[in-house]
Structure 1
Amino acid sequence: MPTSSTPDSRPVAIGITVFRPDAAQVAALRARVAAETRRTIVFDNGGLPAEEAAHLTARGALVLSAGRNIGIGGALDAIAQAAIAAGAAQVLLLDQDAAFSPDQVSALEAALARLRGSSPPPAVVGPRPDAAPGRKAPDYPRRPKIPAAGSLVPVEFLATSGSLVDLAAYARIGPFRSDFFIDGVDLEWCFRAWAHGYGCWMETGTALPHRVGAGVIRSNLLGIEMPRQPLFRMAAYLRNSVYAWRLPHVPRRWRLRQAAYLPLQALLFWADAGYRPGVLAQLAGAVLDGLRGRLGPPRGLP
């Protein structure tokens, strides 16, 4: 297996999660595996045809599956553990929609190398988020009281897709929360990283377009916009956000921001769904689940 130019000479692994990929996504996955000299680990959360898994394996990829959808947190942990077993020092996490070139991976490697010896030490470095056409890019709030390092900006959290995770830091911070299943996994882990004395950094010199949801819901009156998501995903987002308020490593400033913002998001989502009573009932049930700590696969999961 080819090695990279990481400071300790161990390789970077590429981890890709897939779920019901369409033909274009499968073709892009094939092309990435063919073009990438680094070890590629694919976790199939369901829907990857057996012949495509065999094709990827024959071209050097490691294809993993639990035989069912275990959520993004469980998939990321399986990838991280496989990368550690392969001797990797870092793992670059991607979803099936991410268009991220090998040169961009190298740019994040160099960014992580520049942070070596910094205080706090880096746990993860990710690209600047851009919005794909018709989509909304995530917002990464600046981490207060930590100075920037050139093009590297300290942020509260990063989306996992596009993030280069230091696996030694991962081993100390702990796994991603599999019980969150799909939403808020990255946010919770990054807040935990900061609480453990590690930093999360955005490299503004490289960008990744994000394709979350199916369009954007906007309200000029409320002054907010959000991705248009399936109901089960919005419910999971509300549930996990509310549950996270009880976690001691989630800063009070973030809890206060969410307490003001979540009701507006829920109202906007409900309005976009035509004010249907069943939608409101599921959103309210998700909030109650968060308060009660009932996590795991969200209700209505396809």
Structure 2
Amino acid sequence: MTGPAQTRSPLADIAAGVTLFHPRPEHVAALVAAFSVPVPHVFAYDNGGVSLETRAVLDRSDGVRVIGTGDNVGVGAALNRMAEAATAAGARYLLLLDQDGEPSPELILGLRAAMARLSPMQGPAMVGPVQRPVEGRKTPRYPLRRGVPALPGLDPVEFMATSGSLLDLAAFARIGPFREDYFIDAIDLEWCFRAWAAGHSCWVDRATPMAQCVGSGVIRARWLPVAIARQPLFRMETYIRNTVYGWRLAHVPRRWKLTQMAYLPLQTVLYWSDSGYKPAVLGRLLRAAANGFRGRLGRPAGAP
């Protein structure tokens, strides 16, 4: 029984979900330490490459439950399984993270407070942190949603990264799951556009920062203001494929499709130039675009 001096934790309705793929033990230890705040449920999805040492760290941690079989099923499937587990556990919200994220009590408390400031009239589906730049890495940028007024400290955005974001599980049930056939890239973008089309919304909390970066470096154009993340070829292929496929979807705004139709060829040429203009690389990138037009999705060739 709760006595008069006892209060319910502000995080009692939150679960956390972390997608793990070949994580380093020190990263996992830092993630576990961040959940010393009273989050009732933490789900770690083993998407492959979780070592015995890392598994021992997880097994020693109170409140952490490892799910997944160790097969790389893709980010979309991992996110969906964690959402299902959090819903079954009775959580109202799910904090989504990857192994490179930097969670903290301030992040969790800040996003929960931001979600509370959004009324049901705004239909919040997801709230994420403002991105803190990391030197030498590409920082994601989230365009503002046109026609939706900002609130004090909160910006409506077209889309945001799932990592570091707080997901409303009731809204998730109405909007539908993340696309598992996308496998890894543009999953958050497609889902957020689908959320807006379904009458929900996505927000960035300007008072809650988190370092977030994409890839292992930055590839910059010499004469144009274009930069992309340096990442493995299969990731670039998947990004191109899923972006092109998104042009077929009615809920992706026409203005975004036109922007990407202009920008994607520049990104493709920039990645190809960084490879030394290898014909084989260009061939794979063009085949990825063709697969997007044809709707050939699923696990990409070369995925580890």
What TM-score do the two structures reach when normalised by structure 2? 0.94
Instruction: Kindly indicate whether the alpha-carbon contact (under 8 Å) linking 1:222 and 1:264 is maintained by their aligned counterparts in 2.
Output: no
Alpha-carbon shift at residue 134 of structure 1 (Å): 1.0
Provide the residue aligned with 1:101 in structure 2: 104
Distance 2:53 2:274 in 1: 40
What secondary structure sits across from 2:210 in the alignment? Answer: strand
What secondary structure sits across from 2:86 in the alignment? Answer: helix
1:274 pairs, out of 270, 273, 276, with: 276
Q: 2:121 matched to 1:118?
A: yes
Distance 1:71 1:32 in 2: 25
Distance 1:66 1:290 in 2: 29
Cα deviation code 1:131-185 (max 9, x no counterpart):
2121111110100000001110000001000110000000000000010000000
Provide the residue aligned with 2:73 in structure 1: 70
Distance 2:8 2:284 in 1: 49
Change (3 A) 1:223 1:63: same
Provide the residue aligned with 1:149 in structure 2: 151
Provide the residue aligned with 1:5 in structure 2: 10
Instruction: Kindly indicate whether the alpha-carbon contact (under 8 Å) linking 2:25 and 2:53 is maintained by their aligned counterparts in 1.
Output: no
Counterpart of 1:286, as a letter, is A
Alpha-carbon shift at residue 104 of structure 1 (Å): 1.4
Distance 1:67 1:105 in 2: 27
Provide the residue aligned with 2:38 in structure 1: 37
For residues 168-247 of structure 1, the aligned pairs below 5 Å read: 168-247=170-249
Deviates more, 1:175-184 or 1:48-57: 48-57
Alpha-carbon shift at residue 299 of structure 1 (Å): 1.4
Counterpart of 1:107, as a letter, is G
Alpha-carbon shift at residue 29 of structure 1 (Å): 3.1
Counterpart of 2:239, as a letter, is Y
Distance 1:73 1:195 in 2: 20
Cα deviation code 1:181-200 (max 9, x no counterpart):
00000000000000000000
5+ long unaligned stretches in structure 2: 1-6
Counterpart of 2:119, as a letter, is R
Cα deviation code 1:8-34 (max 9, x no counterpart):
xx510111111001233233234334x
Distance 1:235 1:148 in 2: 35
Aligned residues: 296
Runs of 4+ in structure 1 off by over 4 angstroms are none
Distance 2:73 2:279 in 1: 30
Instruction: Kindly indicate whether the alpha-carbon contact (under 8 Å) linking 2:107 and 2:210 is maintained by their aligned counterparts in 1.
Output: no
Provide the residue aligned with 1:26 in structure 2: 28
Counterpart of 1:247, as a letter, is L
Change (3 A) 1:286 1:4: farther
Cα deviation code 1:196-248 (max 9, x no counterpart):
00000011111111132111011141211111111000000000000011111
5+ long unaligned stretches in structure 1: none
Provide the residue aligned with 1:286 in structure 2: 288
Change (3 A) 1:293 1:3: farther
Instruction: Kindly indicate whether the alpha-carbon contact (under 8 Å) linking 1:4 and 1:12 is maintained by their aligned counterparts in 2.
Output: no
Counterpart of 1:61, as a letter, is V
Distance 2:175 2:274 in 1: 38
Instruction: Kindly indicate whether the alpha-carbon contact (under 8 Å) linking 2:130 and 2:209 is maintained by their aligned counterparts in 1.
Output: yes
Provide the residue aligned with 2:302 in structure 1: 300
Alpha-carbon shift at residue 107 of structure 1 (Å): 0.6
Instruction: Kindly indicate whether the alpha-carbon contact (under 8 Å) linking 2:31 and 2:103 is maintained by their aligned counterparts in 1.
Output: no
Instruction: Kindly indicate whether the alpha-carbon contact (under 8 Å) linking 2:29 and 2:57 is maintained by their aligned counterparts in 1.
Output: no
Distance 1:269 1:289 in 2: 18
